[in-house]
Structure 1
Amino acid sequence: MTSRHPSPTSRVRALARTVPVGALGLILTAGAAWGQQAPATSPTSTATTKGEAANLSRPQKGTAAALLAIDAEYAEKLKGLDLGRLKQLQELAVGLKPKEAAAVYEQLFRSAIAADLFAQAEPAADAALKAGLPSPSCLALANLVKLIAECDRGDFDQSLKDLAALLARKADPKAEAGVVLSSAELLGVADSYYQRLVHAGRYDVATRAFQLVLEQADADDVRDYLGSRLNRLKLVGKPAPAIQGKDLDGRPFDLAALRGKVVLVVFWASWCLPSAAEITWLQEVYDADHARGFEIVGVNLDPLQDEQADVESYIPNVRRFALDYNLRWPNLMNRPGAGDVAKAYGVAEIPASVLIDRDGKVVGLDLVRKNLEPTVAKLVGP
């Protein structure tokens, strides 16, 4: 789900981000840039309008595996090239004068962030920090690489300690100004940190990280964003907010009626297209565990393109979309007021999902296939 709508309102602009502004995005913006929110990038190259979304050709199940295999092969080759680049840059940095070495290391860390190769770049980060290179920008990047690398090896508590130390240095008026990265880099690092924490079920660490950053954020829009994310994280362990209304075919739906079952709430939009592979594995989990008490409900966010528009006008296109993708679970339209499910669940970007246990409590956020399948299987039981 990576497409973005070309002319979103301010709220949809937040919802349409594929990588949200998060804790690391803020700690990177030191000095005069502290507290400034990274702007959303222009979505025009991949955008589809409401009318165009229904006319896109969707890969059928027979081609999904082939497409996935091609993508996997491409990704593996690209990773090999990226790893080779990191190795060459580290070899180049050895023996250079400190100022020149810092410039090379900075390029290495930026490349690692872009390629999501934090663990592989950690030795270079250790070397740069040990050398005490004369570049606040380089050292800040090295610290951030180590922060994510710690998550990669499961040392989440240490990553939180390091985040707290970084924030303390940023708050010190005597500290040197740090690095200001591009919006894409800021968002990429922030998303990497968040995804690692929530996919590992460390909602406690993620909550504390956002609280730490919120304490030092100045810009209103940044504070609003972080507050929304914290509200969502704080749902874990609490009763799930109500979801009531009618599905796309006019049938009544009430989440409370599903008490005693495990429910996955999926937030989506026709202008944020799901991949065929994602739909396939969701269907597989649904088919495997539905008989044992697993349900899925979709909440469509198309009306947030224009909060003044009539929600009913979006239903034909959304229904067509659901039919084209063979979505076999109930789908509701997000509506203003009491029907604003996205607001109730603190959803600030898509794709997003919430897992609810048999007791009606939130037990997971944004699960991916590797942890959704075993988590659902455990919750529904034998």
Structure 2
Amino acid sequence: MNQERALWVAVVAGVLTVATVALLAYRLLVLGGLPPGDTIPDSLRSAPQLAPAEAQAEVDAIMALTLNDLDGQPQALAQWRGQVLVVNYWASWCKPCVEEMPAFSHLYRRYAAQGVQFVGIGIDEVDNMRAFVDRTPVSYPLLVGGKEATQTPGLQVKALPYTVVIGRDGRFASSRLGRLDEARLEPLLKELIGQ
């Protein structure tokens, strides 16, 4: 009888273990992350602190880029010099990227008249980006990134989403690796436009 009970306990424990692993895999692969209130520290979500020279080299590299828009027209990022510039590296297959884009569109519409410009650099195929925009309209320009958009000396793009905020003076203001929400970005924008 003890062997039968031990076998039953082992089977139940095995089933519970498989169910737990399946739930975690579902959350990570299908839902794109851990549940709200997860325990990943902010230090792992934010871009590592860059030395001032590295941060400015990153801004200079971004401002030197010329990338095609979704219509194939070249767009120099330098055309937005003098504005508060929010540059977001994203991809249509990146769930956190897609989740933050409505907030970026909202902030862009709210602050564009005050000199805030958002630009999305898609690390993706142009057809995928077009299909995404057909389903989910984006209010700011999207550019098609290639190797030059991520592998230019000075850039620190290691994963997606990655957002860099540049002040009107062309100086590095902030960067974030991982999803950036409206509540965290808006106070920085207000500070940079002098509100």
Q: Note if 1:327 corresponds to 2:138.
A: yes
Equivalent position of 1:290 in the other structure: 112
Preserved CA contact (<8 Å) 1:279 1:325 = no
Q: Secondary structure at the match of 2:127?
A: helix
Preserved CA contact (<8 Å) 1:244 1:255 = yes
Give 1:266 deviation, angstroms. 0.6
Q: Note if 1:375 corresponds to 2:188.
A: yes
Preserved CA contact (<8 Å) 1:237 1:363 = no
Q: Secondary structure at the match of 1:296?
A: strand
Give 1:380 deviation, angstroms. 1.9
The runs of 5 or more residues in structure 2 that have no matched partner are 1-24
Equivalent position of 2:172 in the other structure: 362
Distance 1:321 1:238, change over 3 A: closer
Preserved CA contact (<8 Å) 1:237 1:361 = no
Percent of residue pairs identical: 28
Equivalent position of 1:8 in the other structure: none
C-alpha separation between the residues in 1 aligned to 2:166 and 2:30? 33
Distance 1:363 1:319, change over 3 A: same
Give 1:379 deviation, angstroms. 1.2
Name the structure where strand makes up a greater proportion of residues: 2
Q: Secondary structure at the match of 1:234?
A: helix
C-alpha separation between the residues in 2 aligned to 1:245 and 1:316? 16
C-alpha separation between the residues in 2 aligned to 1:275 and 1:247? 18
Q: Secondary structure at the match of 1:318?
A: helix
Preserved CA contact (<8 Å) 2:122 2:143 = yes
Preserved CA contact (<8 Å) 2:66 2:76 = yes
C-alpha separation between the residues in 1 aligned to 2:97 and 2:142? 18
Give 1:250 deviation, angstroms. 2.3
- Backbone CA RMSD of aligned residues: 3.3
Give 1:233 deviation, angstroms. 9.0
Equivalent position of 1:234 in the other structure: 54
Equivalent position of 1:103 in the other structure: none
> Where do residues 145-160 of structure 1 align in structure 2 (5 Å cutoff)?
none
C-alpha separation between the residues in 2 aligned to 1:233 and 1:347? 16
> Where do residues 75-114 of structure 1 align in structure 2 (5 Å cutoff)?
75=36
Q: Secondary structure at the match of 1:347?
A: coil
TM-score by length of 1: 0.37
Q: Secondary structure at the match of 2:151?
A: helix
C-alpha separation between the residues in 2 aligned to 1:295 and 1:355? 10
The runs of 5 or more residues in structure 1 that have no matched partner are 1-40, 48-73, 80-114, 117-187, 199-205, 208-229, 303-313
C-alpha separation between the residues in 1 aligned to 2:67 and 2:98? 28
Letter aligned with residue 137 of structure 2: N
Aligned length, in residue pairs:
161
Equivalent position of 1:262 in the other structure: 84
> Where do residues 40-59 of structure 1 align in structure 2 (5 Å cutoff)?
45-46=29-30
Preserved CA contact (<8 Å) 2:83 2:168 = yes
- 1:127-152 deviations in whole A, cap 9, x for unaligned? xxxxxxxxxxxxxxxxxxxxxxxxxx
